[in-house]
């Protein structure tokens, strides 16, 4: 998929994934020092589920986010297509 074919939704989905990842990292750091905070654990699990759903929708439309078996690829092999998410 060329850069010309990318639409505003592509960038919006990537931003949403980045925001979810940021929140999950922050909650992970918090939970490392507050493991008995039930509300934080609940929030972490909710965000993890939301991130999984968001990543699934992204991958269906734009291709894999991760390699080494963490993401599926359509045929033909999609890793040869750019830009990759980390290049944007």
pLDDT tens, position by position, 31-87: 999 989 999 999 999 999 999 999 999 988 888 887 766 555 556 556 556 666 667
Pull the structure tokens for residue 61: 């439309």
Q: Is the pTM above the cut of 0.85?
A: no
What is the predicted pLDDT for the residue at 7? Answer: 84
- The full set of domain ranges for the chain reads 3-87
Higher local confidence (pLDDT), 76 or 88: 88
Pull the structure tokens for residue 79: 């890793």
Long-range contacts formed by 59-64: CB under 8 A, 24+ apart: 61/9, 61/10, 61/13, 62/1, 62/6, 62/10, 62/13, 63/1
Per the CB < 8 A criterion, the answer to whether 85 and 14 are in contact is: yes
Q: Buried b vs exposed e over 23-42: b needs ≥16 C-beta within 10 Å? A: bbeebeeeeeeeeeeeeeee
Q: What is the pLDDT of residues 4-34, one digit of tens each?
A: 456 888 999 999 999 999 999 999 999 999 9
């Amino acid at each position: 998929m060329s850069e010309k074919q990318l639409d505003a939704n592509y960038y919006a989905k990537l931003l949403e994934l980045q925001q979810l990842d940021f929140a999950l990292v922050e909650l992970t750091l918090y939970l490392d020092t507050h493991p008995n905070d039930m509300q934080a654990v609940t929030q972490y699990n909710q965000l993890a589920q939301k991130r999984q759903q968001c990543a699934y929708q992204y991958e269906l439309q734009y291709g894999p986010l991760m390699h080494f078996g963490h993401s599926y690829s359509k045929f033909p092999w999609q890793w040869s297509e750019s830009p990759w998410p980390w290049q944007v």
